[in-house]
Amino acid sequence: MTSIHDFAAIEQWRHGHRLEAQHVRSLRTAFYKKYAGPREALAALPKAVRDDFAARFEFHALELSERFDSARDGATKLLFRTAEHLLLESVVLRPASGRTALCVSTQVGCAARCQFCATGKMGLARNLSAAEILDQIVQSGELAAREGRNVRSIVFMGMGEPFHNEEALHAALARLVDPRAFHFHPRRLLVSTVGIPRAMVRCARAWPQVRQAVSLHSARDDVRRHLMPVAARHDLTELREALAEVAALGQYDVMIEYLLLDGLTDTDDDVAALIEYLRGLRVHVNLIPFNPIAEAPPLRRSTPSRHAVVSESLKAAGFPVTTRYSLGADIAAACGQLVRDAQPGAAVAP
């Protein structure tokens, strides 16, 4: 079957049936903007062609397998299954601000193997297609719509390194900002990366207003390589040049993700190195208290007092600083934990 997101194929089908463009526009409004689901979207077409459309075009590329609702903070984790029964996760975030956000995956598993991440311990099974990336948004959006919520923003912070699946990422971004489809303002989209300099710049050139977040976690090359083996291929100097270019192209503060690890990233020397590294860059620092995972016992969360020292030092140096507290801690909402717990080994490539 052809994906519902393949607009060229739908256009060809429409011409074949001599159908007014308005019918397809109405179908898309129901499907993408109201998240009304396939049945209501199909109702926008004349009765005579509905069955044919439904037989040719696939509305959902994934099957929703399970949902887990946080009792604490309104996060919902959705576990999806691909056609070949691989599992992946998305999260619906309902923060106190009322601004519903979706966190989506770009890969099943991940090849980046970050030390602190459950997904990184799985290895990579495969890239998701653009249709599979978009379907997480469609199905999560349908869930939010049933609650009377509007999806305000999308963050690519789920399983996988988005820039390791660059073609599908760009295809998904194209549909997300497309006025005929979701029509998100690009500022409401955020791509989070371990820091792949050339891909960051390509993304900023194609989508200057799409925001980027970079997992820095240390301003020392040796510590960074230890935490994120992928950093061995791109040193901090190369990454800094990309950060400057992305911020200049997009005219916004790039988000720097910084994991607070006891004795590893939170010492006075670490903070001094971080301030020196970021000086002159247009950035916003997001501090992340570490949520321990079973597979990385030596990594420990910073104490509250060290957290405060890091935060105050950065502020004193003139950087905007926030702290990201993970929503949905009681449903293992941190990247990859649920798939790992639900079916150990399910996403692991041989």
- Would you tell me which residues interact with ligand SF4 (CB under 6 A)? 110, 112-114, 117, 119-120, 159-161, 194, 335
DSSP H or E segment with residue 131: helix 130-146
Q: Is residue 103 flagged as an active site residue?
A: no
Tell the smallest beta-carbon distance from residue 257 to ligand SF4 (Å). 9
Taking the C-alpha atoms of residue 108 and residue 90, their distance in angstroms, rounded to an integer, is 11
3-class SS at 126? strand
3-class SS at 127? strand
Pick the catalytic residue: 103, 114, 117, 335? 335
Q: Quote the radius of gyration of the chain (alpha carbons, Å).
A: 21
At 50, the amino acid letter reads R
- Answer whether 91's CB lies under 8 Å from 158's CB: yes
Task: Select 75 or 117, whichever has its Cβ closest to ligand SF4.
Answer: 117
Task: Select 195 or 250, whichever has its Cβ closest to ligand SF4.
Answer: 195
Task: List the one residue out of 246, 213, 141 whose CA is nearest residue 183.
Answer: 141
Taking the C-alpha atoms of residue 179 and residue 192, their distance in angstroms, rounded to an integer, is 24
Tell the smallest beta-carbon distance from residue 41 to ligand SF4 (Å). 32
- How many CB atoms sit inside 10 A of residue 341's CB? 11
Task: List the one residue out of 224, 241, 223 whose CA is nearest residue 281.
Answer: 241
Pick the catalytic residue: 89, 132, 161, 257? 89
Task: Select 156 or 319, whichever has its Cβ closest to ligand SF4.
Answer: 156
Task: Select 59 or 163, whichever has its Cβ closest to ligand SF4.
Answer: 163
The CB-nearest residue to ligand SF4 is: 120
Give, in order, the Cα–Cα distances in Å from 229 to each of 164, 216, 222, 264.
14, 12, 10, 16
Provide the strand spans (E) within the chain.
2-3, 57-58, 63-69, 76-81, 87-93, 100-103, 107-109, 124-127, 151-156, 189-193, 211-215, 254-260, 283-289, 321-323
Tell the smallest beta-carbon distance from residue 112 to ligand SF4 (Å). 4
Task: Select 137 or 259, whichever has its Cβ closest to ligand SF4.
Answer: 259
Tell the smallest beta-carbon distance from residue 23 to ligand SF4 (Å). 41
Tell the smallest beta-carbon distance from residue 106 to ligand SF4 (Å). 9
Q: What are phi and psi of 321, to 5 degrees?
A: -135, 135
Task: Select 159 or 236, whichever has its Cβ closest to ligand SF4.
Answer: 159
Q: Is residue 335 flagged as an active site residue?
A: yes
Tell the smallest beta-carbon distance from residue 147 to ligand SF4 (Å). 28
Residues in the chain: 350
Active centre residues (catalytic): 89, 335
